[in-house]
Structure 1
Amino acid sequence: MAKKASLSISHTTFFILAALLLGMPGHGNAQDRRYIREPELPAHVCVKLTSDDVPDAHNLQEAINHCPSGQAVHLTKGLFVSNPLEMKSGVSLWLDKGVILAATSDPQAYDRGTGACGTLDNKGKGCKPFLTFQDYSGGGIYGDGVIDGNGGQVIEGKDETWWQLARRAQREHKHQNAPRLIQLNNTRDVTFYRVTLRNSPNFHVAMNGVKRATFWGVKIDAPASARNTDGIDPGNSEDVTITQSFIRTGDDNIAIKAGPNGGTHNISITDNHFYQGHGMSIGSETQNGVHDILVRNLTLDGTTSGIRIKSDVTRGGLVEHILYEDVCMRANRWAVNFDTSYDKEAVGSAIPVYRDITLRHVTSDGGQLVAHGFDKEHALDITLDGVHFPEKNQWDISNTQLHTGPLQEGAPDCSAQFVPFPENSPKTVYTVGSGKSFTSIQSALSAAPDGSTIAIYPGTYREVVHVTRPDMHLIGMGRTREETVIEGDRAAFESGGTGKSAIVFAEGDGDTLEHLTITNRFHWKHPDITKDAQALALSATGDRQHFSDLHLTGYQDTLLAASHGCREDRDCHPARQLYQDSRIDGAVDFIFGDALAWFERVELHALGRPFVILTAQGRRSADQPSGYLFHQCSITADNDVKEISLGRPWRDYATVVYKECRMDPRVLPSGFTEWNHLNRLTTARYGIVDASGTGAAKGPREPHMLAVNKELRQMISTPSVFWKNSL
């Protein structure tokens, strides 16, 4: 079992885990062996093109093919939508500011001849990259333009985006066939200078067999929810420098790998800024060895992990001579995470060994500190020199030797090191908690512009929270969602109505809440009050909202999943919402409203009351885009619950479908029940598809339920299809 070691790393105290101080290791060539200076724009141009000059992808590929080595194809104006391109050795692309080179969304254009691109299978290798550098030498990509992979666009001929395909692959335990943005194979002396890479369907830059590569002033940008969108992945590579760049992604910001094709060494990662993403990673493929890596002058601002090394016995190898120096971190769930069991169920003999790892002048405002060696014979070997973590932080260690170098007086001030992502509307991280920038969530929200991240550190926040701006991201920073609690005690009769009784109001389009517990305690504090006692935990009324890893607790009307104040006398705009991997507790109509909401792997827990009603969906008309879909959810209950109704129709066209959900045995045989004897079941749309558990099929269901047929299964196959058709 991992040992919990209290370790405050500052000038006042230091707990040393080792026999004796062994001294600072020498790192020799722990960096790119070249002398690197800022690149220059190409001196020679073979052709200048605007989008008017390039009516189709064939013309752009032809321009590349006919350009002499040592010269550049210069894109000067417009939007270029292209099929995949293969770079000719020595030929560069130069994109002026304002130019966008956008990838087609046609999967056939990327297909390798198997018809797999844009589908799921057990391999995930069915697509060519958008830009391929194969057997390439000299040149690269230059300029202030944008290369856009269109990962958020619907795949041509499909009903989901590339990123939704990746999420579906995760749910179905398969691999997505989606194109990488840029692939470098057997490449020498390549440069990426100032260009912006964004929205890749898969990895942004993947490297294999690369020698001497420079990334200078590059910006990489993808949403936090976009799965497998690594920034830059040097694999089987040597003498690589990544500097003065800005990276935010949905996966590793950088991941240094050493897979079956060869090892990786002499890498310099200097003067960079990382934002959302999984951090500065080594692994998980390390079987051919990673060594001589320098990470210097790095900020990790809101990444899930900060400094990370990951591998397991199926792909482990030797990782050594790694130096992290002058690193500033804030709002990270894990500040340091060195793990030799990345896949806890992996079986194999490739043992990961991490040694000669040094953290020098590394500072964090919090986050977990993890170091797990494989066993005593293959212990981690880490030296800490002038590192500063909060006094309350604890190391979670096992099979690890920690050594110390000289300590410095006082923690350095990192505040000036954190800068916003370079864009017109910066996405800034605001920290909340004891000793943080703000002590209340609402005060941070009041100061934050659109698109900001609010990192909420563990504690109980007794306040009412209004998230009114779009694209806000609220994330709890505890080990579990139960460590970061927002709670209150308020009900409809004292708040001005049911909809005004919530503890948290998520009102902005594109808002994201994750890893939090939100509780309205009114029922437990005032059990004798039953009139107008509706007491919401969360009111969600925006479009494109995402809620993940939440625990919502209330009694009557726990969650309002609704549209923007829809009325019968005007058009109703969709409020598309996604709830994932969460738990919702309640007793009476505890999920209600007229949103178009998809619930994925959510536990619906019935609290102590003889008769519990799960949903009161409020679709107002046959053509309103509204309905609830529960996919792979579970229905559970307290012991004193006798009967469970899956829902009753709050409005005439209430729409609820349960797909592949596990039913508690106390679910009524009819499944659904009427709303106060108003005969709304005849117009409501209720369905149960492929249920499991002892409550899945107990006698005849409500006679007006939707017939389970091919059309229904297709309409509820994915969130995008559900949102498009809205039953």
Structure 2
Amino acid sequence: MIAMTTTLNAPSSRAQDTRQVSEPRLPAVCTVLTASQVYAEGLRQLDTARIQAALNACPAGQAVQLAANNEKDSFHSGPLQIPSGVSLIVDRDATLYASTDADLYDKGGKTCGVNAQKGRTCTPFITIDQARGSGIYGDGVIDGQGGQLVQGKSETWWQMARRAQREKNEHNIPRLIEIKKSQDITFYRIRLRNSPNFHVTVSQTDGFTAWGVKIDTPADARNTDGIDPISSRNITIAHSYIRTGDDNIAIKGGNGGATENVSILNNHFYSGHGMSIGSETNSGVRRILVKNLSLDGTTSGLRIKSDVSRGGVVEQVRYEDVCIRNSKRPIDLDTRYDRTAVGDKIPTYKAIVFDRVHSLTPGRIVLRAYDQAHPMYVSFAQSSVAANSPQLIQFANLQIAQKNITVAEQAENLVWDNPSSSVCANRFADFPVHTPFDFRPQLSSQQAQAYTIENVLRSTGPADKPLIDPWNPLSDELATATKLPVDYVVDANALADGKTQFNTVQAAINQAVLDGRQLLAAKSKKARLYILVKPGTYRELMYVPATAVPITLYSNESDAQKTKIAASAHAALLGTAYSHRYAAQFAQVDPSIQEMYASLKDRPVIGTSGSAIAWIRGHGFQAKNITFQNTYNKDQVDTNAECPNTVCGATAGTAPVVVVQHQAVALMVEGADKVQFENVRVLGFQDTLFLRSSAIAHTARSFFHRSYVEGNVDFIFGDTTAYFYRSEIKSLGDRSTSYVTAPNTNVRTPYGFVFNEVNFTHDGSANALAGKFYLGRQWFHTQKCTPYATINVASYRCTLADVDAYQAPLGTISKKVLETVGKTVILNSSIGEHIHAQHPWADWNKKGSLAFRPAQFSVADFWRNLQQAGLDPVQHLGYDSMESLAPATTGIFLSEFNNTHRVLPAAVSLQKNQVSEVK
């Protein structure tokens, strides 16, 4: 074997981009646009006008950001022009689709989308022309839809190109992105796929960086080059992944001038025609560095191609640390690219260096210069070629192992080093497939064991110092006994005695509070007081303070609808209006109850927590066979009703209020532990059931068995630990969007809401049957600004501080709010067709709004989101590590296990292995 150890000409210091290039950073955002379409439902509208308008209005140095809005992740556009200094950012879960309407790209001759003798009559999808400092960024996708039928035609763009090849004419097909006569253009992390024609051309440009770009188009898609620098200088393409149907990269020196000073660094190529130079080289190509490249499955590997119709000088090209496998022509330097070409532009290749280049599998080695008067000059150092590799070598001056070898006519028997098995170990990376984020994570069987009743309800108290207090409410007499004791009776139609017989529920509770205090003082062994409520509707509020002896409230009627506690209150109700309605009810009650009333009556408006019809503070409280209803808009719904603030009540400075849209709580459990509900019904619209801890990261437990809760928006919400077992949760469709849960569990609290063997149903309304409701969104508690996204406010910033505040454009957010992550897990349940099948968990509001926070499924998401917001979890928030913050199963925020999901006949099937499906 002949060792290849020497180098030839062209020092590497000159063969590269002359700029100092480092990893780019995302520019500031001027405007966030959220998607309004779902690809699976069809792209029915064009977003061209609003995207272009945002780009045109964006100041230089900033970017327009395209963002997903829950399941709405698609933008659909005709041709776009990116102005000088302006950039486009496509977020990770968003995709910008190029329209397939050929007329939108036509340059005026009505030939775009038509095969003809003349080509290039289509405008590209995205143009950057005579710009400085523009770019395209983000982890999202720009999709050219090359494999989709062209609108109004029976062919795709790619099929049209293949037909043109057979018919020997030109195909008029749009390129994806063209950069022309520009300076310092940057592409960073963006994913480009399915281009109808070339993905990126960079023409007559000084300064172009592509870093971390992924290009992905099928191997049989004709003329879909990855990135083509043409008559340009100072180009860096780094850390990128390219698989396509033509040249992965093609460096061209055409009529517009030479291409020079190019660095191709740390890249991976897959299907395609290789790392190419040419075929247009007539103006020259020089000072090219290709370093640390893997090519796996390209038809050619390292390729220089030209012919006499377009040839010129290609010189000072260095290939360093390159690994090639599964290539038909791993080294392919050919001056007769088109053997039928005619002309006098003879290609000349000189000062070409292969240093540590290894071809691992057999493939043809081509080193073919034009003639003896125009030889090529090539050097090989520490390089190797697989055995049994055919050779075509003509008119080549080679330097191998410190020996000069001249091939005057043709050689086919040069001996090369055979690569060792370890020479390219770990050099071939898998293509980073764009896997959509899993918006429906599933627990493993082992993880699901942590969500049994015994485990979830095992402890109480502060999360950092939990009190182990095993509790199994299914063994309590509330669930097991056929008959319960009676201490008090509530009957609206009976004569009350004020001791054991009462006409109102609140009066009975008041007496139980008084008696319980005496029992405690007397050290009585009586562990509980029982209130029997006779059937009927009790139109009153029900406040249960902290009690000395726990209270059980129940009816003997198994149909909970027959025994109802109902009243009307909403969050915007004026304190004076609340006092007018309910002062008499609390005039002669125990001070502990009166304190609850007094805490609301002097408020300007009573707020969400003040709207509760049943308000529970007593540990160990129980209810059975009872309905709790907030009748606000339940008795008579008028979705168009409006009223002035002085009548309806509203927060200061607001406009007239739409009545139907207020929070109105039916049942609130506040800070009470071991609260148990058996066969109860909780009825409302927005914020029906509020489960509230007494302190941050403090576990208080509630249990709902054989119960029913209904509502429309955030109708089960709060930060406690609550277990729902063998119950029904119904979404009402009076609004087009519905969220079942809105947890704001602290990140350290082990469990939030757990639903096990629960039936999630709907009311059969048109809104529900659209299949776009959500299981929940994580309540971004008391937020004033968001650090998780840019807001459409100039110079906006949201930074960490002790308080939550915002005065445009600056805001602060507290650690307390950041840590209210929200936890909900659903197991062994039936989920109705009203819930979005692929995207059942929603962000908190849409990106671009002050109230935005992305859905976070685990502590890993929480940690990563903090980092992406510029907050170091260790340095800024004082966490030891992610594992210490939420170990094991407590690191799960949102998840499911073994659920069935009924889907509408027209709905898209769920992804395989996500959840089982019931037809």
TM-score by length of 1: 0.55
* 1:170 and 2:165 matched: yes
Question: What amino acid is the match of 2:331?
Answer: V
In the alignment, does 2:54 pair up with 1:63?
A: yes
1:422 to 432, 454, 464: 432
Once the two structures are superposed, the pairs formed by residues 499-510 of structure 1 within 5 Å of their partners are none
| Counterpart position of 1:37 | 22
Task: Assess, with a 3 A threshold, how the Cα gap between structure 1 residues 22 and 336 changes in structure 2: closer, same or farther.
Answer: closer
User: What amino acid maps onto 2:35 in structure 1?
Assistant: S
Does residue 117 (structure 1) correspond to residue 104 (structure 2)? The answer is: no
> AA paired with 2:236?
T
**2:67 is the counterpart of 1:76:** yes
- Kept after mapping to 1: 8 A contact 2:385/2:419: no
Q: State the distance in 2 between where 1:27 and 1:405 align.
A: 19
Alpha-carbon shift at residue 396 of structure 1 (Å): 1.2
How far 1:395 moved relative to its partner? 2.5
Amino acid at match of 1:56: D
Higher helix residue share: 2
Which of 40, 52, 64 is matched with 2:36 structurally? 52
C-alpha distance in structure 1 between counterparts of 2:309 and 2:139, whole Å? 41
Matched, 1:26 2:15: no
User: In structure 1, the residue corresponding to 2:276 is in which secondary structure?
Assistant: strand
Q: In the alignment, is the contact (CA less than 8 A) between 2:105 and 2:122 conserved in 1? A: yes
Match for residue 269 of structure 2 among 249, 271, 274: 274
- Of 108, 114, 125, 1:130 maps to 125
Is 2:29–2:65's contact at 8 Å kept on the other side of the alignment?
Answer: yes
Evaluate the alpha carbon distance shift between residue 55 and residue 125 of structure 1 in structure 2; reply closer, same or farther with a 3 A threshold. closer
What displacement does 1:136 show?
0.7
Measured in 2, the distance between the counterparts of 1:225 and 1:127 equals 22
| Superposition map of 1:528-539 within 5 A | none
Question: Partner of 1:215 in structure 2?
Answer: 210
Counterparts of 1:372 and 1:341, CA distance in 2: 8
How far the C-alpha of 1:23 sits from its partner, in A, is 5.2
- Indicate conservation of the 8 Å contact 2:384/2:418, yes or no: no
Q: Which runs of 4+ in 1 moved over 4 A?
A: 21-25, 405-410
- Aligned-pair CA distance for 1:284: 0.2
Q: Distance in 1 between matches of 2:253 and 2:125?
A: 23
Letter in 1 for 2:319: Y
Partners of 2:20 and 2:7 lie apart in 1 by: 32
Alignment map for 1:214-363 (pairs within 5 Å):
214-363=209-358
Shift of 1:410: 6.6
Looking at structure 2, the residues matched to 203 and 33 of structure 1 have their Cα atoms a distance apart, in angstroms, of 26
8 Å contact kept, 2:46–2:78: no
Whether the 8 Å contact between 1:128 and 1:179 is mirrored in structure 2 is: yes
Residues 356-402 of structure 1: CA distance to partner in whole angstroms, max 9, x if unpaired?
00100001122110111001110011001111112332431111111
CA distance in 2 between counterparts of 1:324 and 1:65 reads 42
Matched ranges for 1:317-466 at <5 A: 317-365=312-360, 366-405=362-401, 411=420, 412-423=422-433
Q: Deviations over 1:449-497 (max 9, x none)?
A: xxxxxxxxxxxxxxxxxxxxxxxxxxxxxxxxxxxxxxxxxxxxxxxxx
State how far apart, in whole Å, the 1-side matches of 2:127 and 2:171 are.
19
* Greater share of strand: 1
Q: Which residue is equivalent to 2:153?
A: 158
What amino acid sits opposite 2:429 in the alignment? Answer: V
Whole-Å Cα distance in 2 between the matches of residues 15 and 58 of structure 1? 59
User: Aligned runs of 1:674-685 on 2, under 5 Å?
Assistant: none
Q: Structure 1: how far apart are the matches of 2:79 and 2:270? A: 29
Superposed, 1:462-501 pairs within 5 Å as none
Partner secondary structure for residue 124 of structure 1: coil
- Pairwise CA distance, 1:329: 0.5
Q: 1:108 aligns with which of 103, 111, 122?
A: 103
The 3 A distance-change label for structure 1 pair 185 and 340 is same
Equivalent residue of 2:355, what SS? strand
Q: Does 1:13 align with 2:2?
A: yes
Question: In the alignment, is the contact (CA less than 8 A) between 1:23 and 1:405 conserved in 2?
Answer: no
Letter in 1 for 2:393: I
Q: Which amino acid aligns with 1:264?
A: T
Give the greater-gyration-radius structure (CA): 2
Could you tell me how far 1:25 is from its partner in structure 2? 4.7
2:139·2:191 contact (CA, 8 Å) conserved in 1?
Answer: yes
How many angstroms does 1:59 deviate by? 1.2
Distance 2:418 2:124 in 1: 50
CA drift of 1:46 comes to 1.3
Query: Which residue of the partner structure matches residue 530 of structure 2?
Result: none
Residue 199 (1) aligns with residue 189 (2): no
Whether contact under 8 Å (2:385, 2:418) holds in the other structure is no
Contact 1:23–1:404 (Cα < 8 Å) also in 2: no
Equivalent AA in structure 2 for residue 259 of structure 1: G
Query: How many angstroms does 1:56 deviate by?
Result: 2.9
Q: Give me the whole-angstrom Cα distance separating, in 1, the residues matched to 2:133 and 2:175.
A: 21
For residues 271-303 of structure 1, the C-alpha deviation after alignment (integer angstroms, 9 at most, x for no partner) is 000000000000000000000000000000000
Looking at structure 2, the residues matched to 409 and 309 of structure 1 have their Cα atoms a distance apart, in angstroms, of 23
Q: CA deviation at 1:51?
A: 1.6
TM-score (norm 2): 0.43
Paired residue secondary structure (2:181): strand
Preserved CA contact (<8 Å) 1:142 1:194: yes
1:133-164 per-residue CA deviation (whole Å, 9 max, x = no partner) reads: 01111130111000000000101111100000
Separation in 1 of the partners of 2:261 and 2:111?
Answer: 37
Q: Deviations over 1:503-530 (max 9, x none)?
A: xxxxxxxxxxxxxxxxxxxxxxxxxxxx
Determine the C-alpha separation between the residues in 2 that align with 1:205 and 1:373: 30
Q: Match of 2:776?
A: none
Instruction: Give the deviation of 1:241 after TM superposition.
Output: 0.2
Deviation at 1:15, TM superposition (A): 9.6
Partners of 1:126 and 1:408 lie apart in 2 by 49
Farther-moved stretch of structure 1 (287-296 vs 75-84)? 75-84
Cα deviation, residue 419, structure 1? 1.0
Aligned to 2:457: none
* Distance in structure 2 (CA, Å) of the matches to 1:376 and 1:125: 37
Q: Percent identity?
A: 49
Paired residues of 2:8 and 2:378 also in contact (CA < 8 A): no
Deviation at 1:425, TM superposition (A): 7.9
For 1:402 and 1:182, the matched residues in 2 are separated by: 39
Displacement of 1:29: 1.1
Tell me the distance in 2 between the aligned counterparts of 1:99 and 1:405.
53
Instruction: Give me the whole-angstrom Cα distance separating, in 2, the residues matched to 1:421 and 1:397.
Output: 33
Specify the SS of the correspondent of 1:120. Answer: coil
The 3 A distance-change label for structure 1 pair 229 and 34 is same
Letter in 1 for 2:30: C
The separation in 2 between residues aligned to 1:368 and 1:32, in whole angstroms, is: 31
For 1:424 and 1:248, locate their aligned partners in 2 and report how far apart those are by CA, in whole Å.
13
CA distance in 1, matches of 2:373, 2:239: 39
Q: CA RMSD in A?
A: 2.1
Q: What pairs up with 1:602-621 in 2 under 5 angstroms?
A: none
